[in-house]
Amino acid sequence: MTTMFSTPKLCSYPECKAVAKKTWALLPLCYGHHDTIRLETLKYYANRMPYDHRQHYLQIARLIKRITPFYAQSVKKSDGVVKKTNEMPNRPIEALDFTIKTYAALKRNGINFENELRKKSYEEITSLRNIGRKSVEEIEETLGIEFKPAKEDAK
């Protein structure tokens, strides 16, 4: 009888050698570190816990940045204000400043990165479960975008 073993992935947390069982923004992590970072993030979104109290998260934030592709662009807002978004990575939604409600709803809808949001039309975003008007506004503000209707009126 033969059994195939694949090499287990190790936790990405600095100095941690435990086997990775979970991922956080595509980074493999052990149960312990995944849980600590998840809890820090929940606290952060619930009470706006200051960033420097998210010690475990900050340890891996640099790694998350490294694996996410960077792009540079300027976003022109409806009021004509050009918002510079140079060197903005395709950030995992964990790294964005969403409320816990919006964050949880996006996760439940299988959305993990900001570029998945940028691609959506207004109809698509509002058809997601638990994404109401407030969440849509929040996403638009956070990303500096405006969701456009799927079909333009043919003229």
Binding positions for Zn ion, rule: CB under 5 A: 11, 13, 16, 18, 30, 33
CB atoms under 10 Å from CB of 91, counted, come to 16
Nearer to Zn ion, 13 or 147 (CB): 13
Q: Smallest distance, Å, CB 10 to Zn ion?
A: 8
Nearer to Zn ion, 18 or 96 (CB): 18
Report which DSSP code applies to 153: P
Q: Smallest distance, Å, CB 20 to Zn ion?
A: 7
Nearer to Zn ion, 23 or 127 (CB): 23
What is the spatial distance between Cα 91 and Cα 96, in angstroms, rounded to a whole number?
7
Rounded to 5 degrees, what are φ and ψ at 44? -60, -45
Q: Smallest distance, Å, CB 93 to Zn ion?
A: 22
Q: Smallest distance, Å, CB 53 to Zn ion?
A: 19
What is the spatial distance between Cα 110 and Cα 107, in angstroms, rounded to a whole number?
5
Q: 43 near 57, Cβ under 8 Å? A: no
Nearer to Zn ion, 33 or 120 (CB): 33
What is the spatial distance between Cα 143 and Cα 150, in angstroms, rounded to a whole number?
19
